[in-house]
Amino acid sequence: MHIGILGGTGPAGSALGARLASVGHDVVIGSRSEDRAVATVATLVERWPDRSLGLAAGENATAAEADVVVIATPWDAAYSTATSVAEHLDGKVVICMANALTRIGKEFQPLVPPRGSVAASVQAAVPACRVAAAFHHVPAKELGDLDHEIDTDVLVCSDHPDATACAAEIAAGIPNIRPLDAGGLSQATPIESFTAVLLQLNQHYRTRVAVRFTGIADAEVAS
């Protein structure tokens, strides 16, 4: 699959890009600055010289030309970034992984962006695309460590069944990741907000937690 990542030079975007490339996808790391994207790709290729990572670099507009587009920008840049490349996103599946969070003192707290979630804001910015919210709870450091598999569930929500299916297919292609259909895009609000809880746990226990849900058989997920 040809996947473009907007804001792909940040920790989450570059980690997801490397992981997706490691399982065979052709990935374009996008940025407002092409030079930053080039530097990020060079760093990833240098870190994993024994892997044939299908990574390319470009501006966000170049990444937005891919078949499937991921928005990995800071939450407050997601709307404007999507708007800036809207002509490339019409009709496409757009996966939003941004979380609206802030830190007050020692606590991480969720914010409520316009329309309730970052994903819903992106859908409003480009109504002709099909937004799915996914990959919010996957720790970036572990996601980017290609020598180790990740043991986590990925919650996917969208108002478009084909977007849910597409995001789930991408997630399922990563070993040990299990995608779960969490419903419509309205569910992006609590999903994004819950990331603040995970960060708080990471800080308190000095670890990096992932999310696994019990009571759902793999056969049910596959069906």
Q: Could you tell me the pTM of the whole model?
A: 0.95
Q: What is the pLDDT of residues 179-195, one digit of tens each?
A: 999 999 999 999 999 99
For the chain, the domains span 2-222
Q: What is the pLDDT of residues 21-73, one digit of tens each?
A: 999 999 999 999 999 999 999 999 999 999 999 999 999 999 999 999 999 99
- On whether the CB atoms of residues 177 and 153 are closer than 8 A, the answer is yes
2-222 CATH choice from 3.40.50.620, 1.10.472.10, 3.40.50.720, 3.40.50.850: 3.40.50.720
- On whether the CB atoms of residues 212 and 152 are closer than 8 A, the answer is yes
Q: What is the pLDDT of residues 146-166, one digit of tens each?
A: 999 999 999 999 999 999 999
Measured distance CA(159)–CA(41) in Å, rounded? 33
Residue 10, CA atoms < 13 Å, CB-side half-sphere: 18
DSSP, residue by residue, 64-103: TTSSEEEE-S-HHHHHHHHHHTHHHHTTSEEEE----EEE
Evaluate if residue 222 carries a pLDDT over 70.
no
